[in-house]
Amino acid sequence: MQTATASPRTGAEGVEVLLFDVFGTVVDWHGSIAREMAHDHPQVDGAAFARAWRAGYQPAMARVRSGELGWTRIDDLHRMILDGILPQFGLAHLDEAARAGLNRVWHRLDPWPDAVDGIRRLKGRALCCTLSNGNLGLLTRMAKRAGLPWDCILSAEVFRAYKPDPATYLGAAGVFDVPPERVMLVAAHHDDLAAARACGLRTAYVERPFEFGRDAPKDVAARPENDLHARDLLDLADQLGCPAAV
Amino acid sequence: MQTATASPRTGAEGVEVLLFDVFGTVVDWHGSIAREMAHDHPQVDGAAFARAWRAGYQPAMARVRSGELGWTRIDDLHRMILDGILPQFGLAHLDEAARAGLNRVWHRLDPWPDAVDGIRRLKGRALCCTLSNGNLGLLTRMAKRAGLPWDCILSAEVFRAYKPDPATYLGAAGVFDVPPERVMLVAAHHDDLAAARACGLRTAYVERPFEFGRDAPKDVAARPENDLHARDLLDLADQLGCPAAV
């Protein structure tokens, strides 16, 4: 009989794999899109544009989950949403090349200032992998540009299911051949964390108060159901005992 | 009319993605296994043991391809082969824990001496990703231990098909949303390269004369059907104009 197995889980004890949500948790989609819009289309309210684009995200994935749409990558869902909102922002005139180029802004989102160093430190403690609804090509190009040093890039695309489908969380645990309780999801979204917890994963909430912009702060109060609550990824590295880089 | 499209392909012109075969091309499976056997089981002919284990690899995948076995990861195929050869080497007495530990030697294969630097340089020129029949967990742990700086880890596991199934080569091109002619497979095996070429990919052959051991050199003569022929990954980096690290 192993007492370690019977004792209550505490914090990140025994965790071998850290899975990271990406949009909002690791990269600043709102600020990145608003900045690009301010540069390329200064007449548009970039902050509102970014929020409108992102607002189409969950409904678009819901159409895939319901079966209304066959399996469709986020790149293609982003484009469908973009085509829908351009007229509302006076950009209906953008041609195919301009739309395709703008759609790829999701490949060049900037990381939050703590992300690269935080992940580098956390890699000393566990396998650090994405578990994002973004497609593999998007996540790979984003990581390369931003210098995000993932051990592995996992995506809904690998499991052909979007979070919060259990197939994603359990599929990621299966990839590494570890039980769910040795996997921790790191995310800035309570619904994502709740779905992972229902599959037996541990959870770490990361505060990203300005995910939707400085003019739209979100509630980042701690909730007791999460195993850990971190200000950012450097704070998470501190809590997991990962030394700062020398 | 674009003349660039009509002109014959030369070398790696226009290539955006380099896909790397791993076992034998990037890592030295034979030497790594022989060294571990020499250390842990010095009474066994480690070189012969490594070759016997690897010899079961293609037949095991063929059983999956034919449908005789459902989808089975390489970790599990390696273990089936291992259980089969242990008696031939006087190791039938190994218990479950010892077998499981030995099976994970495939997660800790050493890279060829040029591999880490070569990939680091080639990353300046293209996305550098694995395309291996090894499973994602194996490839991730191998990369982390060896310091292989992949942009992305792709595996037969993602496509649920083993090379040389076209679904793997075309699936990898699809992941990055590029046409096959902008993808190059880098491998030390002509059959793998031929299958990729049949899908429209470019090919780079890498000499690994001692893949099967110093006592069993293999023919590494250039074949005209490959776009490039390289002594090792540093030579490939030279040929692709990737500057040495400063």
pLDDT, one tens digit per residue, over B197-228 is 999 999 999 999 999 999 999 999 999 999 99
Count CB neighbours of A44 within 10 A: 16
**Which tokens is A108 given?**
């060049």
* A72 shares a domain with A10: no
A152 & A101 share domain: no
Res. B1: pLDDT tops 60: no
Instruction: Report the chain B residue with the minimal C-alpha distance to residue A172.
Output: B137
**Does residue B4 lie in a domain region?**
no
Cα separation of B129 and B169, whole Å?
12
**Which two tokens mark B27?**
């890592």
Last residue of a domain, one of A85, A107, A129: A107
Strand order across the beta sheet in which B152-155 lies:
B152-155, B127-132, B17-20, B183-187, B202-206, B228-230
B-chain CB neighbours of A151 within 8 Å are 140, 143-144
Check whether residue B167 and residue B156 sit in a common domain.
Answer: yes
Min Cα distance A12 → chain B (Å) is 20
Identify which of A244, A69, A116, A19 has the alpha carbon closest to the alpha carbon of residue B140: A19
**Would you state the torsion angle of the CA atoms of residues B184, B185, B190, B195, taken in this order, to the nearest 10 degrees?**
-90
Of B66, B91, B107, which residue constitutes the final position of a domain? B107
Contacts of A165 (CB under 8 A, 6+ apart): A65, A156, A159
Instruction: State residue B134's pLDDT score.
Output: 98
- The answer to whether residues B209 and B231 belong to one domain is yes
The bridge status of strand B17-20 relative to strand A202-206 is unpaired
**pLDDT given for residue A244 in this prediction:** 87
Residue A209, pLDDT > 90, answer yes
Do B100 and B118 have their domain in common?
no
Q: Are residues B156 and B223 in the same domain?
A: yes
Written as six digits, the tokens of A44 are 């548009």
| pLDDT value of position B9 | 60
Model confidence at B11, pLDDT cuts 50, 70, 90, reads confident
Please report the ipTM that was assigned to this predicted complex: 0.94
Q: Are residues A149 and A183 in the same domain?
A: yes
Which pLDDT score is estimated for A246? Answer: 59
Asked whether residue B5 is domain-assigned, the answer is: no
Please confirm whether the linkage preceding B164 is cis (ω < 30° from 0). Answer: yes
Whether B244 maps to a domain, the answer reads no
A185: which 2 tokens? Answer: 């999801």
> Out of B152, B157, B176, whose CB is closest to A153?
B152
Is residue A15 within 8 A of residue A243, CB to CB? The reply is: no
Q: Is residue A245 part of a domain?
A: no
Please say whether the beta carbons of A232 and A25 come within 8 A: no
- Percent of chain B predicted with pLDDT > 90: 93
Domain that holds residue A214: 3-28+110-239
Residue A147's CB is within 10 A of a number of other CB atoms, namely 11
Note whether residue A246 is domain-resident.
no
Cβ distance B175 to A136 less than 8 Å, yes or no, reads: yes
Q: How confident is the model at residue B244 (pLDDT cuts 50, 70, 90)?
A: confident
Nearest chain A CA: its distance from B136 CA (Å): 6
Together in a domain, A151 and A220? yes
Convert A179-196 into a string of H (helix), E (strand) and C (coil): CHHHEEEEECCHHHHHHH
Non-local CB neighbours of A118 within 8 Å, separated by 6+ positions:
A232, A233, A234, A236, A237
The answer to whether A152 contacts B129, with C-beta atoms less than 8 Å apart, is no
For A216, the token pair is 């739209």
Residue A9 pLDDT class (50, 70, 90 cuts): low
Same domain for A48 and A79: yes
State the DSSP string of A20-73.
E--BTTTB-HHHHHHHHHHHH-TTS-HHHHHHHHHHTHHHHHHHHHTTSS-S--
Predicted confidence (pLDDT) per residue in A135-151, tens digit: 999 999 999 999 999 99
Number of domains in chain B: 2
Q: DSSP 3-state assignment of B206?
A: strand
For residue B45, give the CATH number of its domain: 1.10.150.240
Residue linked to tokens 């080497």 = B89
| Residues A218, A156 share a domain | yes
Residue B246: predicted pLDDT: 60
CATH number, domain with residue A155: 3.40.50.1000
What's the whole-number mean pLDDT along residues A102-111?
98
Question: Residue A169 domain-assigned?
Answer: yes
Partnered with residue B152 across adjacent β-strands are B129
Q: Report d(CA B234, CA B215) in Å as an integer.
A: 25
Q: Is the pLDDT of residue B10 over 80?
A: no
- For residue B6, the model assigns a pLDDT of 44
Can you tell me the distance from the alpha carbon of A132 to that of A123, in angstroms, rounded to the nearest whole number? 18
Reported as a single tens digit per residue, the pLDDT across A149-169 is 999 999 999 999 999 999 999
Report the pLDDT averaged over residues B135-142. 98
Residue spans of alpha helices (H) in A41-165: 46-55, 57-65, 74-85, 96-103, 115-122, 136-146, 156-159
Give the separation between CA A75 and CA A106, rounded to whole angstroms.
Answer: 8
Q: Which residues of A touch B135 (CB under 8 A)?
A: 175
pLDDT of residue A11: 85
Interface of A with B (CB under 8 A): 75, 123, 127, 129, 135-137, 139-141, 143-144, 151-154, 157-158, 175-177
Please tell me whether residues A137 and A227 are part of one structural domain: yes
3-state SS class at B130: strand
- 3-state class of A113 per DSSP? coil
A152 forms beta bridges with A129
The burial class, CB within 10 Å (0-12 / 13-18 / 19+), for B116 is: middle
Distance, in Å, from the CA atom of B57 to the CA atom of A111, rounded to the nearest integer, reads 41
B233 within some domain? yes
Q: Taking residues B2-10, what's their average pLDDT?
A: 50
pLDDT in tens, B100-119: 999 999 999 999 999 999 99
Please say whether the beta carbons of A176 and A16 come within 8 A: yes
**Shortest Cα distance from A219 to chain B (angstroms)?**
34
* Per-residue pLDDT, B47: 96
Pick from B107, B133, B163: which residue ends a domain? B107
Residues A223-231: what's their mean pLDDT?
A: 97
Same domain, B162 and B177: yes
Question: How big is the A-B interface in CB pairs under 8 Å?
Answer: 49
Q: In the predicted model, is pLDDT for residue B83 greater than 60? A: yes
What phi, psi does A156 have (nearest 5°)?
-50, -30
Q: Is B163 among the domain residues?
A: yes
Asked whether the beta carbons of B183 and B202 are under 8 A apart, the reply is: yes
Compute the distance between CA of residue A138 and CA of residue A227 in angstroms, rounded to an integer. Answer: 30
From B63's Cα to the closest Cα of chain A, the distance in A is: 22
d(CA B154, CA A158): 10
